[in-house]
Amino acid sequence: MKNKSLQILLLCCISYSTFGQWQQSAGTAGLNMQSLITNGIYNFAGGQTGAYLSTDSAANYSLSNTGNDNVGPTRGFTKDNNYIYTCTSQGAFRSSDNGATWVSKSVGLTNLLGGGILKVGTRLFYVGPTGVFMSTDQGDNWSAAGLSTTDVRSIAAINDTLFVGTNGAGIYKSVDFGANWVAINNGLNGALNFRAMESKGNTLFAGGPTGTGVFRSLDFGANWTLLSGGLASGSYRGFASNTQIIAAGSFGSGVFYSTNNGDNWTTINTGLTDLTIFDLELNDNYIIAATNTQGVFRFPLSSLNLSTDIHDIVTNSIISVFPNPTTNQINVSANLGLIGSFYNVYDYTGKSVLTGKLTSEKTILELSNLEKGIYFLNVGENHKQTFKIIKE
């Protein structure tokens, strides 16, 4: 009876009508925009004509490009506690004053044309036509971090595990900050071009090429599934997420969002005058969209009634794994509702090395026969949870 009630509640969450609509951000009409980021009250947008800044929740933008690339597009942003960074056609740039001024930071990049930039822990990663580059000093210097002969177009991370999408070679993963990379293409059905990636907790989303759509992995990239549930087929170029929703921006079909981790999707396009979306972002009150020809738009989150989300309530903090790192065994502690659920342990390449069922509230997994290294534990059948395990 409880399960049936949950299904009814969940159905209600994903099938209601949406009454909000998109509003164009002043100062961006007619502009190509390709990237977005929010830093407190500062909302940045970047595109063909450089970087723009809004301090009123994306209602109005003005050019904020002094010192930044003024030749080609600003294709990506990331941030740390001190700086905002851009990824452009002329390399990486850094701002210490929330976009008032920018300084070039490209020493060590063998090709300035950037496809994405991301902060992971204390490191920065920059991707482009000559692979992946890493900086450990906030962009002052960059060094090669693998895939030097690969055109890399997007990057995401789950904790300290890196994932990159390429132009022509599918998706790769690294668990050692780029020292080694492994292809993770199982389930991609031959799709090789991925220009957008997003991590939402331990779930990974990747935007595929024309004729595909959005792929999802629940096991750190070991396996992928092409999603449907209301999503249009086509190329996807941008994502945004928080604990409640995942939003996807398509090339020609507008914006879709899901409140149940990608199982079902709803279209929200009313008010959009350009349905080709290059990036999405979330601030406290709005979904923000960067479009190909019509600038930036914002959509009120209040229209989505997100307080009724059930998925996060169901899956939050119901499994713990310890000790980690381990030498021989791990204990999987789970609530009563998960007893009988399947688990699967994968190695670095995505190969399954141990399977079974949770037999009690504390199940012991024996790992003594496995080699030292990094493994991934996947628990559950529906909304899976994945844990990174270190065997010493």
pLDDT computed for residue 355 by the predictor: 85
Q: How far is CA 165 from CA 72, 116, 181, 245, in A?
A: 22, 10, 12, 22
Asked if 210 and 223 touch (Cβ cutoff 8 Å), the reply is: no
Percent of the chain with pLDDT over 90: 73
What is the number of helices (H) and of strands (E) in the chain? 2, 35
pLDDT computed for residue 14 by the predictor: 38
156-183 confidence digits (pLDDT tens): 999 999 999 999 999 999 999 999 999 9
**317 pLDDT band (50/70/90 cuts)?**
very low
333-348 confidence digits (pLDDT tens): 877 767 777 888 878 6
- Residues ≥6 apart with Cβ < 8 Å to 194: 153, 154, 165, 166, 170, 171, 206, 207, 208, 209
pLDDT computed for residue 290 by the predictor: 98
Tell me the residue type at 37.
I
Lowest-pLDDT range, 185-194, 220-229, 289-298, 300-309?
A: 300-309
Asked if 309 and 13 touch (Cβ cutoff 8 Å), the reply is: yes
7-31 confidence digits (pLDDT tens): 433 334 433 334 589 999 999 999 9
Q: How far is CA 6 from CA 3, 12, 257, 259, in A?
A: 5, 10, 20, 14
More confident residue, 364 or 137: 137
356-392 confidence digits (pLDDT tens): 888 787 889 999 889 888 888 878 654 467 788 888 8
Asked if 162 and 125 touch (Cβ cutoff 8 Å), the reply is: yes
pLDDT computed for residue 306 by the predictor: 73
Q: State CA 204 to chain mean position distance.
A: 6
pLDDT computed for residue 25 by the predictor: 98
pLDDT computed for residue 2 by the predictor: 40
More confident residue, 338 or 76: 76
Q: Burial of 54 by CB count in 10 Å (0-12 exposed, 13-18 middle, 19+ buried)? A: buried
pLDDT computed for residue 19 by the predictor: 57
pLDDT computed for residue 4 by the predictor: 41
pLDDT computed for residue 332 by the predictor: 87
pLDDT computed for residue 345 by the predictor: 87
Asked if 287 and 247 touch (Cβ cutoff 8 Å), the reply is: yes
What's the rounded Cα separation, in Å, for the pair 143 and 148? 11
pLDDT computed for residue 337 by the predictor: 67
What Rg, from alpha-carbon coordinates, does the chain have? 21
Mean pLDDT of 277-300: 97
Mean pLDDT of 233-250: 96
What's the rounded Cα separation, in Å, for the pair 191 and 225? 12
Mean pLDDT of 209-234: 96
What average pLDDT does the structure give for the chain?
Answer: 89
Residue 318 has pLDDT above 70, yes or no: no
**67 pLDDT band (50/70/90 cuts)?**
very high
pLDDT computed for residue 321 by the predictor: 86
84: left (phi over 0), alpha (psi -120 to 50) or beta: beta
Asked if 374 and 180 touch (Cβ cutoff 8 Å), the reply is: no
What's the rounded Cα separation, in Å, for the pair 231 and 162? 26
**308 pLDDT band (50/70/90 cuts)?**
very low
SS3 387: strand
Mean pLDDT of 68-73: 96
What's the rounded Cα separation, in Å, for the pair 317 and 333? 11
Domains (range + CATH), the chain:
2-311 (2.130.10.10), 318-391 (2.60.40.3080)
SS3 268: coil
